[in-house]
Structure 1
């Protein structure tokens, strides 16, 4: 019997097979693609503890999977780096939806300015359970783990599968934080800059789960001017390189900088907000403190309305 099936592709039929097995009192069902026998969540729960194998329906958030192997094995939301119990217990927790790019880094810096420290901040990254890749960024979850390690921040991984809706899976991840942290989740934060349709999508898809926790959605960079965001990124000392692109206006590996922005052809958003490019923040290349240094860094939103990046 094979229960360690993290490499098997999920399908929409998985949920129905799993639910049918549970209803019939069967401990397993056959995976529709591989034919392997897969334990149900009910059967796994009867064990009273995680077995450490990375089971598809693990009800224990993969607690027994070694931390260094979780990024490669987990099939349900789990802590990938750091500790949730060591967060600041005196105030609500901010969960930042972290893609690993420049906007995520800028949002984290903005939240640290609000708090005066980073001990109320948890990173949460969704990724494809099959490819282990973060959508749009086209980077592996291992790179995100390296970022969290360099930033000394807790990271919750949220693997996405076709048979579980995005909002449902994110709700599972948020409830993991809520159960484990010493204070309740107060805000679920994003690095969104100004696209109204993206904000509307988030409200529709994750708003109900956020409100069910008694939390709110928060966009610390909303309508911040590009000039100020660029200055803040430069102040972080963190190089950000293009990791994915569409349209051919830029190349993977290009360094995002003032010079990069000035060379963009007409019609390409300076921060790639229309999907022209995505970046990876190489926080490991900066000093351990500089990405979250809040000294002498002004709030970008205090500089006025959003505008083009003038370089």
Structure 2
């Protein structure tokens, strides 16, 4: 039999059927995995909404902005915890983004080749530290240091400024929204820095070489070439860090002060949705209005996190299509 005849000889029917069955099984296994994720996500949303429905029925939309949380009178509102969640997350982003940019800039443009690997690995290892360790470190090390040194200096120098001075007034207890935001910034730093570093490395070398050829400095290349090319992906990475900050629990619970009131000062105590759930869930009775309110808070946090993460995914995907 010639080689041409051998090459065109069809496979046995059993072999074809076996291959088709394997492909079908693999295809449906992949589809099932994707659908399972969607089903789990939908089940979580529905369960939280149904469990929190008695709270929404009892207090209406006012539950979202009400600042009362009184288990004795069974009057509950999400305003304080939503405020604390948003403020600590925004402050954490304000602290983390400049530092993450500096790390990514150093690793991609300034660091010698032999040092980029160890420094990059060290930054990424921050993400592997358990949140409770961050909380203990913040409570026993950072909070006392802030109370003794940083907060008194900020209060003395910025507390009397017009328009914004009220943000820096109050007693320097060490714990509070400012400290919680600082700990969150350290926790989300590796996520943002790793994203920035990876997208900076995707800039075509010819773009940067052209700018250098025209006499641009390293900073001018970064500002005029790298950042415009990667801005959407950078924003997506920042949004991922924001989503991480919104849902953090134990580290924030240690250092935020856990007070159910809104403080105009960033040094004042407060709470977040996650920290309030962690503290109050164990004391809630099954079927009580308090438990329903906590689950309603969980639903609100889920919606906030979903919006942030969906926005980041949209930005990253649109950058890939560009």
Give the structure-2-normalised TM-score: 0.23
Higher relative contact order (CA 8 A, sep 6+): 2
Structure with greater proportional helix content? 2
Structure with greater proportional strand content? 1
Give the structure-1-normalised TM-score: 0.24
Query: Rg bigger for which structure?
Result: 2
